[in-house]
Chain A
Amino acid sequence: GAGVSQSPSNKVTEKGKDVELRCDPISGHTALYWYRQSLGQGLEFLIYFQGNSAPDKSGLPSDRFSAERTGGSVSTLTIQRTQQEDSAVYLCASSLESQAGKNIQYFGAGTRLSVL
């Protein structure tokens, strides 16, 4: 079956513009995660969705960042008024129900965002 799909694979935008990044998780996975990987940095947790529960937004760096998950499947990460420091690779992952962090996460290839 298909893995986690992210689009676009690359996005170049101008400072101040809004961007939307899309993630299609593996079918049947109820948990979905967004991470940010900056050059020379590790993985930074942003947000995670688990079924119909309220998402854990504790990792979002500012109110310019938001995410939705429609119908328990596809997720969109939106960054408003992009800044140069937002340049990074944004990774999405999904897993079977979260079970307090016990389950394997399956990652997409990421979206490389460049803010000029």
Chain B
Amino acid sequence: AQSVAQPEDQVNVAEGNPLTVKCTYSVSGNPYLFWYVQYPNRGLQFLLKYITGDNLVKGSYGFEAEFNKSQTSFHLKKPSALVSDSALYFCGLGNKLIFGSGTRLLVRP
């Protein structure tokens, strides 16, 4: 079955520390993977995508994600978290218009 999983409902980090939001996927063929962020009472905003090419993808607001085919993962990362990064993050599989359940990121001052 084709699916996306975000195993953590919430991730808590201190400002200035690195953050990781996890995503794993299952798909037949090559995956098209996306990360979106949702701030309160707003629609989703695009952060970055992997279609093909380099496994390390750089996106908006200093975020990056690493595509790992052997582990079927596409984890979102940022070297130094900001309080303003606190939001709901969704991983998406473009091929099937499937999104994960979302991970709430809380960055404490």
Seen from chain A, the residues whose Cβ lies within 8 Å of a Cβ on chain B are 4, 33, 35, 41-43, 45, 48, 59, 91, 93, 100-110
Q: For the complex, would chain B's binding face be called helix, strand, loop or mixed by DSSP majority?
A: mixed
Q: Are B99 and A102 in contact (CB under 8 A)?
A: no
Nearest neighbor of A6 in chain B, beta-carbon distance: B43
Contact of B99 among A4, A43, A100 (CB under 8 A): A43
Seen from chain B, the residues whose Cβ lies within 8 Å of a Cβ on chain A are 6, 32, 34, 36, 41-46, 49, 51, 90, 92-102
Q: Are A45 and B97 in contact (CB under 8 A)?
A: yes
CA A33 to CA B36, docked complex, whole Å: 15
CA A108 to CA B41, docked complex, whole Å: 10
Contact of B90 among A42, A100, A102, A106 (CB under 8 A): A42
- Provide the residues of chain B in CB contact with A59, threshold 8 Å: 97
Contact of B95 among A4, A33, A100, A106 (CB under 8 A): A100
Q: Are A108 and B96 in contact (CB under 8 A)?
A: no
Q: Are B43 and A91 in contact (CB under 8 A)?
A: yes
B77 to chain A, nearest CB (A): 20
Nearest neighbor of B31 in chain A, beta-carbon distance: A101
Q: Are B43 and A102 in contact (CB under 8 A)?
A: no
